[in-house]
Amino acid sequence: MARWNQKKRAEAILGLLQQHPIVSLCTGAVLLAGLSTVVLSGFAEVATLSACLSVLAAVALKCAIDWGKGRSRDPSLDAVMDFLSDDPVPAMCFDPDGFVIWANPAAEAAYPGLQADGPARAMAALSKEIAPLLRRLKRTSLDGHTASEILSTRLGHVRLSMRGFARGRFLLRVEPVPTRDDGAMAHGPVPMLCVSRTGTVLAMNEALRRELGGRARRVEDVFVSPPDAQQLSAVLRADAGDVPVLVHQRNLSAGRREISLIPIPPQGVEVSAQGLETLPVAVVQLSKEGRIVDSNRAARQLLDIAPGTDVVNFTDCVTGLGRSVSGWLKDAYQAHQPLQPEVMRLRNADRESFLQVTLSRTDGALGGGLMAVLQDATELKTLEAQFVQSQKMQAIGQLAGGVAHDFNNLLTAISGHCDLLLLRHDQGDQDYSDLLQINQNANRAASLVGQLLAYSRKQTLQPEVLDIRDTLSELTHLLNRLVGEKVQLTLLNDPDLAHLRADKRQLEQVLMNLVVNARDAMPDGGEIVVETKSVHLDAPLVRGRVTLPLGDYICVTVTDQGVGIPKDKIGKIFEPFFTTKRTGEGTGLGLSTAYGIVKQSGGFIFAESVLGKGTAFDLYFPAHHPVVREVPAPQSADEVKPTETGEGVILLVEDEAPVRAFAARALRLNGFTVLEAENGEVALSLLENPSLVVDLFVTDVVMPGLDGPTWVQQALEYRAGTPVVFMSGYAEDLLLGSESAMPCASFLQKPFSLKQLTAAVHTRLATAQVVPQEPEPPRPSVVA
Say if residue 145 is exposed, middle or buried (CB neighbours under 10 Å; 0-12, 13-18, 19+).
exposed
Tell me whether strands 745-749 and 604-610 are parallel, antiparallel or unpaired: unpaired
- Look at residue 428 and give its three-state secondary structure: coil
In the predicted model, is pLDDT for residue 659 greater than 70? yes
In the predicted model, is pLDDT for residue 622 greater than 90? yes
Q: What average pLDDT does the segment 737-754 reach?
A: 74
3-state secondary structure 486-538: CEEEEEECCCCCCEEEECHHHHHHHHHHHHHHHHHCCCCCEEEEEEEEEEEEC
Q: What whole-number distance in Å separates Cα of residue 193 and Cα of residue 204? A: 4
The residues with which 604 forms a beta bridge, in sequence order, are: 620
Beta-sheet strands, E only, within 444-485: 464-466
Cβ pair 518, 558 in contact under 8 A: yes
Q: Which residues contact residue 234 at a Cβ distance below 8 angstroms, ignoring those fewer than 6 apart?
A: 223, 224, 225, 226, 227, 244, 245, 247
Q: Which residue has the higher pLDDT, 231 or 598?
A: 598
Handedness of CA 46, 47, 50, 55 (dihedral sign): negative
In the predicted model, is pLDDT for residue 112 greater than 80? yes
Tell me whether strands 526-537 and 551-559 are parallel, antiparallel or unpaired: antiparallel
Residues 113-126: pLDDT tens digits?
888 888 888 888 88
In this prediction the pTM is 0.41
Fill in the DSSP letter of residue 200.
Answer: B
> What's the angle, vertex CA 552, arms to CA 548 and CA 556, rounded to 5?
80
Long-range contact list for 180-183, CB < 8 A, 24+ apart? 180/278, 182/274, 182/277, 182/278
Q: CA-CA distances (angstroms) from residue 522 to 489, 492, 615, 686?
A: 12, 20, 11, 62
The residues with which 535 forms a beta bridge, in sequence order, are: 553
Q: What whole-number distance in Å separates Cα of residue 479 and Cα of residue 435? A: 32
Range 9-39 burial, b when 16+ CB lie within 10 A, else e: eeeebeebbeebeebeebbebbeebeebbee
Q: Which residue has the higher pLDDT, 359 or 686?
A: 686
Q: What average pLDDT does the segment 27-47 reach?
A: 43
Residue 631 one-letter amino acid: V
Residue 616 has what pLDDT? 94
N residues, the chain? 784
Q: Return the number of other C-beta atoms located less than 10 Å from residue 104's C-beta.
A: 21
In the predicted model, is pLDDT for residue 283 greater than 60? yes
In the predicted model, is pLDDT for residue 311 greater than 80? no
Q: What whole-number distance in Å separates Cα of residue 172 and Cα of residue 168? A: 13
Q: What whole-number distance in Å separates Cα of residue 397 and Cα of residue 596? A: 9
Structure confidence at residue 266 as a pLDDT band (50, 70, 90): low
Residue 363 has what pLDDT? 60
Q: What whole-number distance in Å separates Cα of residue 645 and Cα of residue 667? A: 9
In the predicted model, is pLDDT for residue 702 greater than 50? yes
Cβ pair 601, 506 in contact under 8 A: yes
Q: How many CA atoms lie within 13 A of 652 on its CB side?
A: 24
- Mean per-residue pLDDT over the chain, rounded: 75
